[in-house]
């Protein structure tokens, strides 16, 4: 049997220069594969004619403890730097076209490595950040989608990723010189009709001048299983300094399956967050915009994806997002009407607040710190252009009255730079 302690998840950004990394602080991983097969019957026959097999649908749900590191956000938008201090923020447009692989390396209780489960070409369909209670651990949730799932075992049991820098005068990449991992024959393609490149290589990506190209097998590159040489066809040879990323399987373990992260917090609680609500038209955010008495805060982003296929091809050929919806929910014990005053643009104790006059341009900032001392800022979120959608009061016997406010917009940024977040 395979215990969760030996289910070792790893993410591989496909585009850009971002390297692969373990998925830290994961609390639940729930991939669901829907086969999308339609049973066909016909008049005049007792029984099934057959099944129409469409591409599977993969829904990959991931929950993490918040640990104050922006790395995973960078991986799912395929960037090595964006969102870091001194770099541009990550915004919702950055989630449109990037895609990535996630795998899990599996070892059983006896220490025997059993294989790798690979979910290639996933995209982000949505995510959430939930502060469920003041002392509770902040949670991140990610909803990812794709079309494929593959189990590698036997001689192909390890998924291998290698990155190379193309040097001046290079004519090939020697995959036999990458260490102990040699590309293994993919059994589904063990026929003379297939080339070595198809039989041994899963994917080749070239990053040149900031642009990434996923190469076409037998058209853009070739592979020789005897010499273990990866070569490129005329017109597709990389330029000096380009990065070449190669994916294959092997009977030998990768250099790293899972790195233990002991430097970041095990989990960050709601006491370590600061929440600000303000209307930009009235000025920049300040300490006076801090919201007290909050019991819960949730930020949710849902993408209406449009990932395009084409006739004559079973692969997704283009990736995009039609719209993005940001929903913020603030839950509190009713004591003052501070949130309503902010949304109305009125000072404290203003005599009358008409909900029809609430703003549609509110901004919400969520800052995450190391601990409740709030001396070390980790990273934060800023949602802008928010409009209230629901004001919900709740009164029960022997309970304090609750007030929940929901706001909706289409803009959100993520950054580890406090100056970008705004306060």
Closest to 66 in 3D by CA, of 326, 325, 371, 303: 371
Question: What is the second-level CATH architecture of the domain 270-295+305-421?
Answer: Roll (2.30)
**Model pLDDT for residues 266-294, shown as the tens digit of each residue:** 999 999 999 999 999 877 899 999 999 99
pLDDT digit string (tens) for 241-269? Answer: 999 999 999 999 999 999 999 999 999 99
DSSP 89: P
Beta strands in 88-147, from DSSP E residues, in sequence order: 90-91, 100-107, 113-131, 139-146
Beta strands at 362-369 and 273-278: parallel, antiparallel or unpaired: antiparallel
Element (H, E) at 9: strand 7-13
**Count of CA atoms in the C-beta half-sphere (13 A) of 149:** 14
Per-residue pLDDT of the chain (423 residues; tens, 9 = 90+): 999 999 999 999 999 999 999 999 999 999 999 999 999 999 999 999 999 999 999 999 999 999 999 999 999 999 989 999 999 999 999 999 999 999 999 999 999 999 999 999 999 999 999 999 999 999 999 999 999 999 999 999 999 999 999 999 999 999 988 677 999 999 989 888 899 999 999 999 999 999 999 999 999 999 999 999 999 999 999 999 999 999 999 999 999 999 999 999 999 999 999 999 999 987 789 999 999 999 999 999 999 999 999 999 888 989 999 999 999 999 988 777 788 888 888 888 777 888 888 889 999 999 999 999 999 999 999 999 999 998 888 778 877 778 899 999 999 999 999 999 999
CATH 2.30.110 residue ranges for the chain? 270-295+305-421
- What's the pTM value of the predicted model, to 2 decimals? 0.94
- HEC profile of 22-64: ECCCEEEEEEEEECCEEEECCCCCCCCCEEEECCCEEEEEEEE
């Amino acid at each position: 049997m395979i215990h969760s302690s030996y289910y070792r998840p790893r993410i591989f950004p496909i585009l850009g220069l971002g390297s692969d990394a373990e998925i830290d602080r994961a609390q639940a991983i729930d991939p669901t594969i829907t086969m999308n097969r339609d049973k066909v019957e016909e008049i005049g026959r007792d029984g099934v004619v057959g099944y129409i097999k469409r591409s599977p649908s993969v829904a990959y749900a991931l929950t993490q403890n918040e640990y104050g590191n922006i790395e995973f956000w960078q991986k799912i938008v395929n960037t090595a730097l964006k969102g870091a201090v001194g770099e541009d923020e990550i915004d919702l447009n950055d989630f449109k076209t990037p895609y990535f692989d996630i795998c899990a390396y599996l070892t059983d209780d006896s220490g025997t490595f059993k294989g790798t489960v690979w979910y290639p070409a996933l995209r982000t369909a949505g995510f959430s950040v939930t502060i469920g209670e003041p002392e509770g651990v902040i949670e991140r949730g990610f909803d990812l989608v794709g079309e494929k799932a593959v189990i590698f075992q036997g001689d192909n049991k390890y998924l291998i990723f290698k990155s190379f820098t193309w040097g001046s005068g290079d004519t090939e990449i020697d995959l036999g010189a990458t260490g102990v991992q040699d590309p293994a024959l993919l059994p589904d393609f063990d026929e003379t009709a297939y080339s070595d490149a198809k039989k041994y290589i899963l994917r080749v990506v070239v990053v040149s001048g900031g642009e990434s190209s996923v190469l076409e097998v037998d058209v853009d590159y070739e592979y020789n299983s005897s010499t273990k040489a990866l070569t490129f066809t005329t017109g597709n040879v990389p330029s000096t300094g380009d990065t070449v990323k190669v994916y294959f399987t092997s009977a030998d373990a990768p250099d790293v399956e899972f790195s233990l992260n002991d430097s970041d917090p095990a989990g960050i609680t709601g006491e370590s967050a600061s929440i600000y609500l303000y209307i930009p038209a009235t000025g920049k955010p300040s300490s006076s915009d801090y919201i007290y008495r909050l019991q819960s805060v949730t930020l949710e982003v849902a993408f209406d994806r449009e990932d395009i296929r084409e006739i004559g091809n079973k692969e997704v050929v283009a990736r995009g997002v039609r719209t993005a919806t940001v929903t913020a929910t603030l839950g509190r014990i009713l004591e003052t009407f501070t949130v309503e005053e902010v949304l109305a643009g009125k000072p404290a104790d203003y005599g009358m607040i008409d909900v029809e006059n609430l703003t549609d341009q509110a901004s919400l900032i969520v800052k995450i710190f190391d601990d409740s001392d709030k001396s070390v800022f980790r990273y934060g979120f800023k949602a802008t252009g928010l409009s209230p959608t629901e004001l919900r009061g709740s009164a029960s016997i022997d309970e304090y009255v609750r007030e929940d406010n929901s706001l909706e917009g289409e803009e959100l940024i993520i950054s580890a730079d406090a100056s970008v977040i705004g306060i």
